[in-house]
């Protein structure tokens, strides 16, 4: 008899790693790294890279290093280092070692002198413009620099003096001596070092020359004996240089593999653009709940598990595509549905008086989460006066309106069935009070009234509390804010991406709301307490609606 095993589809990185393990490469060891540049906060694209690097290592009993790619002192800062570490931990991953490319500056300097010694690198005095001019184009070969044939001794001397601060910024660079006619522009004597009199967040003023990305990255991988250096597709043309450096320096043979970066609609993800949004006050900061940053998503109430689940769902591909932001929201909703505590909040309250309700009121028991029995119950006070949503009552409703209207009975969630009697308006004709009668024998859970209703309305008791509620929408009004080269992406910012509601009335239990906890406001969506909350004022963020309102709009 044949035994059929379930076929598990593997992504191309898993296949590569499994092959390497099968061949006994590096004794079957798997060591990946996540190499952020500490020049901004992590965004959802980085989450994909984190999930891939940490996920693969975990799957194959390996480890992952966290390496800060801090070779550009001008844009980097310790604030970013701290935020990056916090975000990775929040996603649920642990690194084996915390390293900094700047820790390797001495070794990298030594590697550079080795290349010079082998006649494979030279100091060039050309300006950046002159270097660009001689570089050629993808279809035309470049031309050699007049300084290309300096002697090893002269190069060693000049490079040491570059390091010692004898030359002004921009006056000299160190270049690899490869091939000015290479079809790959990155191989046309790429820059290895530049002079920069800048204070570095870790090495201070020790260095005035800094390695270029291409000279630091691969060598750092090699120093750490990274087995699989996984990066995004735009680094494919850098790979020959990555391999060249490793080969010429005869150092540990790390290998680079590329996958398609995450692109998402209605979003920008370049740190440069996100920094502009922050600096020009289009958002309140890197952790503004509308930002695609992990800190923004955390503040917005996205559970880390839902982000990991999203990264898992989109998979690993070799070709770029654009992911619908609705998929991320779907993952968030799925997770919150299981975990969020249910409560009632009325966004636009109108007073409701139950004319036949006698006595001082009662306490009703409400289930905290029908998806989770262990979440237990809470009490809500109920009485003659409560508040309901203004839009849940219509005097003259269209067909198919099943909420409260003359002749149309509804249930008050966790409570009784009610029926309209009359109402009071102010001088402008606006309804200020709705009067109803209730059916005492229709109490939820012990209903003997046999009245059928189609809708259960949410409501809050007279003792409801106030809060500021921030409602968010897409930050951009077009699917691809990056598409038009002639238009500044900021022109596409959604002016209504945040709407603040200060009228809302909330179930009193929410005055003890916890940070980091999610609440489902019955019929409205998922919400969480914002860090702007104080003992005087509660602030809630809307995390996501209950249903995908965008899918509906797009279908129209
Ligand atoms: P940005 O373009 O936003 O500035 P970056 O690539 O310069 O991003 P790094 O800090 O260098 O940012 O990125 C760290 C790692 O995260 C790199 O390996 C990079 O390839 C990866 N990464 C960055 N953006 C994405 C993305 N959108 N999807 C997948 N991986 C990404
Ligand atoms: Mg980068």
402 vs 453: CA distance, rounded Å: 8
Structure confidence at residue 6 (pLDDT): 54
Report, as residue numbers or ranges, the catalytic residues: 37, 261, 271
Tell me how far the alpha carbon of residue 268 lies from the centroid of ligand 1, in angstroms.
13
Encode pLDDT of 263-290 as tens digits: 999 999 999 999 999 999 999 999 999 9
In CATH, the number for domain 22-261 is 3.40.50.620
Picking from 318, 228, 299, 240, the residue whose alpha carbon sits closest to that of residue 34 is: 228
Q: Which residues contact 491 (CB under 8 A, 6 or more apart)?
A: none
> pLDDT tier at 5 (50, 70, 90 boundaries)?
low
Which residue has the CA at smallest separation from atom 14 of ligand 1?
Answer: 36
140 vs 451: CA distance, rounded Å: 84
Q: Can you say whether the dihedral through the CA atoms of 495, 498, 500, 506 is positive or negative?
A: positive
In a 3-state reduction of DSSP, which class is residue 136? coil
191 vs 128: CA distance, rounded Å: 10
Ligand 1 neighbour 37 (Cβ under 6 A): yes
Tell me how far the alpha carbon of residue 453 lies from the centroid of ligand 1, in angstroms.
53
Ligand 1 neighbour 292 (Cβ under 6 A): no
Question: Is residue 226 exposed (0-12), middle (13-18) or buried (19+ Cβ within 10 Å)?
Answer: buried
Which atom of ligand 1 sits closest to the CA of residue 49?
30
> pLDDT tier at 305 (50, 70, 90 boundaries)?
very high
CA angle, 294 as apex, 54 and 312 as ends, to 5°?
A: 45
| φ, ψ of residue 100 in degrees (nearest 5) | -135, 135
542 vs 533: CA distance, rounded Å: 14
330 HSE (CA, 13 A, CB side)? 12
> pLDDT tier at 7 (50, 70, 90 boundaries)?
low
242 vs 239: CA distance, rounded Å: 5
Ligand 1 neighbour 232 (Cβ under 6 A): yes
Tell me how far the alpha carbon of residue 198 lies from the centroid of ligand 2, in angstroms.
19
Tell me how far the alpha carbon of residue 50 lies from the centroid of ligand 2, in angstroms.
14
Helices 304-314 and 325-339, axial angle in degrees (round to 10): 140
Encode pLDDT of 136-194 as tens digits: 999 999 999 999 999 999 999 999 999 999 999 999 999 999 999 999 999 999 999 99
Tell me how far the alpha carbon of residue 35 lies from the centroid of ligand 2, in angstroms.
8
Mean pLDDT, range 231-250, rounded to an integer: 97
Mean pLDDT, range 359-367, rounded to an integer: 93
Domain-wise residue ranges, the chain: 22-261, 265-341+468-555, 349-457
Ligand 1 neighbour 262 (Cβ under 6 A): yes
Report whether 492 contacts 483 (CB < 8 A).
Answer: no
378: pLDDT strictly greater than 80: yes
Task: Give the H or E element holding residue 105.
Answer: helix 105-117
Which residue has the CA at smallest separation from atom 23 of ligand 1?
Answer: 46
3: pLDDT strictly greater than 60: no
Pocket test for ligand 1, best of 36, 46, 231, 257 (most atoms within 8 A of CB): 46
Structure confidence at residue 549 (pLDDT): 61
Encode pLDDT of 122-138 as tens digits: 999 999 999 999 999 99
Which atom of ligand 1 sits closest to the CA of residue 39?
10
> pLDDT tier at 4 (50, 70, 90 boundaries)?
low
In CATH, the number for domain 349-457 is 2.40.240.10
Class of domain 265-341+468-555 (CATH, top level): mainly alpha
């Amino acid at each position: 008899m044949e035994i059929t095993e379930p076929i598990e589809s593997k992504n191309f990185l898993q296949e590569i790693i499994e092959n390497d393990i099968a061949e006994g490469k590096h004794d079957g060891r798997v060591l990946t790294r996540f190499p952020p540049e500490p020049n901004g906060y992590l965004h959802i694209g980085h989450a994909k890279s984190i999930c891939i690097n940490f996920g693969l290592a975990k799957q194959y009993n390996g480890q992952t290093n966290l390496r800060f790619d801090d070779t550009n002192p001008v844009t980097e800062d310790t604030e970013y280092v701290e935020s990056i570490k916090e975000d990775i931990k929040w996603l649920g991953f642990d690194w084996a070692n915390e390293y900094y490319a700047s820790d390797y500056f001495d070794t990298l300097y030594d590697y550079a002198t080795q290349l010079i010694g082998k006649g494979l690198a030279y100091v060039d005095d050309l300006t950046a413009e002159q270097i660009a001019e001689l570089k050629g184009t993808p279809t035309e070969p470049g031309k050699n620099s007049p300084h290309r044939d300096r002697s090893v001794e002269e190069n060693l001397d000049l490079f040491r003096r570059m390091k010692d601060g004898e030359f002004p910024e921009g006056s000299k660079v160190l270049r690899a001596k490869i091939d000015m006619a290479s079809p790959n522009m990155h191989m046309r004597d790429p820059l290895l070092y530049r002079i920069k009199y800048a204070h570095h967040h870790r090495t201070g003023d020790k260095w005035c020359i800094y390695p270029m990305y291409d000279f630091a990255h691969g060598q750092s991988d090699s120093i750490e004996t990274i087995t699989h250096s996984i990066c995004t597709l735009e680094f494919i043309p850098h790979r020959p240089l990555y391999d060249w450096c490793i080969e010429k320096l005869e150092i540990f043979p790390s290998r680079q593999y590329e996958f398609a970066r995450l692109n998402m609609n209605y979003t920008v993800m370049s740190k440069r653009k996100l920094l502009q949004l922050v600096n020009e006050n289009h958002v309140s900061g890197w952790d503004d709940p509308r930002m695609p940053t992990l800190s923004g998503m955390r503040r917005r109430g996205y559970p880390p598990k839902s982000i990991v689940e999203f990264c898992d769902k989109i998979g690993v591909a070799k070709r770029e595509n654009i992911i619908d932001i609705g998929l991320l929201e779907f993952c968030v909703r799925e997770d919150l549905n299981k975990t969020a505590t249910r409560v009632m909040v009325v966004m636009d309250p109108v007073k409701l008086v139950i004319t036949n309700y006698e006595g001082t009121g009662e306490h009703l028991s409400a289930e905290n989460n029908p998806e989770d029995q262990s979440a237990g119950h809470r009490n809500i006070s109920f009485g003659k006066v409560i508040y309901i949503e203004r839009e849940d009552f219509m005097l003259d409703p269209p067909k198919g309106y099943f909420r409260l209207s003359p002749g149309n009975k509804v249930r008050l969630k966790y409570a009784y069935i009610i029926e309209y009697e009359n109402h009071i308006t102010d001088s402008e004709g606006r309804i200020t009070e709705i009067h109803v009668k209730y059916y005492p024998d229709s109490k939820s859970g012990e209903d003997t009234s046999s009245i059928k209703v189609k809708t259960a309305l949410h409501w809050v008791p007279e003792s409801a509390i106030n809060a500021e509620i921030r409602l968010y929408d897409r930050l951009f009004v077009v699917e691809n804010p990056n598409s038009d080269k002639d238009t500044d992406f900021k022109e596409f910012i959604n002016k209504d991406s945040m709407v603040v509601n200060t009228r809302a009335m909330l179930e009193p239990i929410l005055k003890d709301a916890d940070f980091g906890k999610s609440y489902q406001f019955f019929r409205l969506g998922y919400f969480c307490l914002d860090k702007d909350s104080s003992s005087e004022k509660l602030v809630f963020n809307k995390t996501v609606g209950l249903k995908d309102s965008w899918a509906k709009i797009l279908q129209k």
